[in-house]
Amino acid sequence: MDATDAQAPTIAELLDFVRRTAEDAELVASLPLDPEGRTWLRLEGPGGSEAWLISWPPGTGTGWHDHAESTGAFTVAAGALREHSLAARLPTAGWTTLELSEGIDRDRHLATGQGRAFGRHHVHEVLNESGHEHAISVHAYYPPLPQIRRYSRTGAVLRLEQTERPEDWQ
């Protein structure tokens, strides 16, 4: 373990950070809301982590994706979000199409104040299913996101569609 690893925030520390940040009513209220698309504000996360305050207009979502080698956590600061995830370790390279096993789908409804942490290669999608209310959430990742892999899903088939790097979303 090198000095960088020794200072890396744990998943529990990331979750604690996003929970505390989500309780900062002034910060949450400072995020501009757009009725058409998500807005975000980059935050200083613990231990060199990358953090974001994100708004979710009604009916918006991320699509299926993972955060590659980063661990992470998120908490809902306002409104509610739904997370669909896969409870399986997928291969990290060398594939473009996978047939998923039965019973690996997980579904979470996260109301204001609720959140979760996740490990590397966690495949999920996050949605604001409300027809009229914005949701706001706080996210933290360590190490800072090296890439995001985006997937499409049809039934039990998951397909790798593209890989994005930080310059694609910053």
pLDDT at position 6 is 62
Report the Cα 72 to chain-centroid distance in Å: 7
Between CA 138 and CA 28 the distance in angstroms is 9
**Are 151 and 123 spatial neighbours (Cβ–Cβ below 8 Å)?**
yes
Instruction: Place 2 in a pLDDT band, splitting at 50, 70 and 90.
Output: very low
> Over 50: is that where the pLDDT of 22 sits?
yes
Q: Which helix (H) or strand (E) holds 124?
A: strand 124-127
Between CA 39 and CA 75 the distance in angstroms is 16
Q: Give the pLDDT confidence of 100-109 residue by residue, as tens digits.
A: 999 999 999 9
> What number is the average pLDDT over the span 134-158?
95
**Per-residue tokens: 24:** 């900062």
**Per-residue tokens: 50:** 């990358």
pLDDT at position 92 is 76
